[in-house]
Amino acid sequence: MARAHIIGAGLAGLSAGVELAQKGVEIILYEQATQAGGRARSFHDNHLDRIIDNGNHLLLSGNHSARDFLDSINARDRLIGPGSARFDFADLLTNDRWTINFNRGPVPMWVLYEQSRVPGTSMMDYISGLKLLTAGNRSVANLFGDQGQMYRRFWEPFSVAVLNTLPHDAVARLLLPVIRETLAKGAEYSMPLVAKKGLSDTFVDPALKWLERRKADIRLGQRVTALEDDGNQITAIKTARTSESVKAGDIVILATPPWVTPTLLEGVSAPTEFAPIVNLHFQVDGFDGEKTDTPILGLVGSPAHWLFLRGDIISVTVSAAFDLVEKPAREIAAIIWPDVAKVFDLDGKTIPPVRVIKEQRATFKTTPAQLDRRPPAKTLFKNLALAGDWTDTGLPATIEGAIRSGVSAVKALKS
């Protein structure tokens, strides 16, 4: 039986493994870390005595690759959301609060009614989205203008969340495929979804168990140090412990981060500039996120961008966090907590127990130069393909992009 050697057990590698195992291919999965999941993982934090995610991730119901993956591993029910295409926001500078509710079907009837729109915007403001069709390499701020409530309360928070790059640098056109697959298709495709218990419980653990039931050889804590080739195909995979022969008919999928892949595959193009995300997890006695209207809240006029509520944990995401990431954790918490407290009418002076997680290289920077460095899945070696949210998926660096890249890598090896 042909074997698939998958290097990297993040979501891209797990996606490729599930896709191939469904076809009866024998899987060998190599992962340097002792825990699978890559950046999309959960862990028990001793300080908080809670399971928390390494980073917060929001999905939409139109993320078909992610949902197909969860269907395959019988984990679709591990995503939760408000049950509608509802997005709640608070502007901490003006104290305004509002909810965007997308209607069913592709015609955005909700923009016709003032009470449904973002406060301070008109129906004509939403037509500005058509500019994405001819955006070229223009930045978000250049395309939409960096003034007015439509920019401040819609395009800026949306683009920073999706692209993890500051609007004056971020290439606007990469928003288009996201909008086409979700918001532009109406409520059925735009419902926000988050992991019920955590990213590992939703995506990683079910995938590993599913693969193990199909006799996959999962090798955690094994770092691949080199790939050997004969000029036409990969012939061996070397780790710090062993050398694994790649036999005739075997395939190899390299699903490692963009700073690792070039060390294993000479000459491959990969992004070289990255953007950070800072996540904070506050454990608040007496708080119950399940009793709020929605598990997700977007903030405007604050260094904090999104709040994710799970039990007594209020998790905060700060995307493109260049201004925060170099600061000490205590200082970051002191900057963020007063705004969080204001939203929920809590004591803003006393910071509750908190874990601050800095992801220095959360995603590649979504600039023209870095987009040009995204490689296709197919490589010059006939039995090797690339996977990862940083490859040329046509999407930003997201969970949806990572999972889709694993499927694309499998398809590339067929062509």
266 and 377 part of one domain: yes
My answer on whether 183 and 203 are in the same domain is: no
Question: Which residues are within 8 A (CB) of 299 and not within 5 positions of it... i.e. 6 or more apart?
Answer: 89, 90, 91, 92, 157, 305, 306, 307, 339, 343
Q: Looking at the structure, do residues 169 and 211 belong to the same domain, yes or no?
A: no
> Are 157 and 217 found together in one domain?
no
Domain count, the chain: 2
pLDDT of residue 397: 99
Q: Collapse the DSSP code of 135 into the 3-class scheme (helix H, G, I; strand E, B; otherwise coil) and give the result.
A: coil
Point out the domain boundary residue: 169, 190, 211.
Answer: 190
HEC string for 5-38: EEECCEHHHHHHHHHHHCCCCEEEEEECCCCCEC
98 & 25 share domain: no
Regarding whether 223 and 243 lie in a shared domain, the answer is yes
Binned at pLDDT 50, 70 and 90, residue 382 comes out as very high
Q: Note the pLDDT of residue 1.
A: 63
- Angle made by CA atoms 374, 380, 381, in degrees to the nearest 5: 120
Q: Is 402 a domain residue?
A: yes
Indicate whether 37 and 120 sit together in one domain.
Answer: no
Whether 121 is covered by a domain: the verdict is yes
In a domain, 395, yes or no: yes
Residues in CB range of 174: below 8 A, 6 or more apart? 162, 163, 366, 371, 395, 396
Tell me the whole-structure pTM to 2 decimals.
0.97
Once rounded to an integer, what is the mean pLDDT over residues 220-248?
97
* 158 and 216, same domain (yes or no): no
State the chain's mean pLDDT as an integer: 97
* Tens-place pLDDT, residues 284-312: 999 998 888 888 999 999 999 999 999 99
CATH number at residue 391: 3.50.50.60
Query: Do both 386 and 265 map to the same domain?
Result: yes
Q: What is the pLDDT of residue 291?
A: 84
Single residue among 168, 190, 212 that ends a domain in this structure: 190
Distance of alpha carbon 61 from alpha carbon 87, whole angstroms: 13
Q: Is residue 377 part of a domain?
A: yes
131 pLDDT tier (thresholds 50, 70, 90): very high
179 within a domain of the structure (yes/no): yes
pLDDT of 70 reads 99
Same domain (yes/no): 100, 138: yes
Residue 13 has pLDDT above 90, yes or no: yes
- The confidence score (pLDDT) of residue 415 equals 73
Residues 234 and 372 in one domain: yes
Please give the Cα distance from 406 to 386 (Å, whole number).
8
Cβ-based neighbours of 237, under 8 Å, separated by 6 or more: 5, 7, 30, 224, 226, 227, 228, 243, 244, 246, 252
Neighbours of 269 (CB within 10 A): 16
383-391 mean pLDDT: 99
In terms of Cα–Cα distance, which of 139, 117, 137, 136 is closest to 126? Answer: 117
Tokens standing for residue 347: 């004591």
**Chain mean position to CA 57:** 6
Domain containing 227: what range?
Answer: 3-43+198-272+367-414
Could you tell me the two tokens for 56?
């917060």
Distance CA 187, CA 103 (A): 5
Average pLDDT over residues 228-233: 97
348 inside domain:
no
Domain boundary among 155, 190, 225: 190
Asked whether residue 386 is domain-assigned, the answer is yes
Exposed/middle/buried for residue 176 (C-beta within 10 Å: 0-12, 13-18, 19+): middle
Shared domain check, 218 and 172: no
Residue 405 covered by a domain:
yes
Tokens coding 381? 């070696």
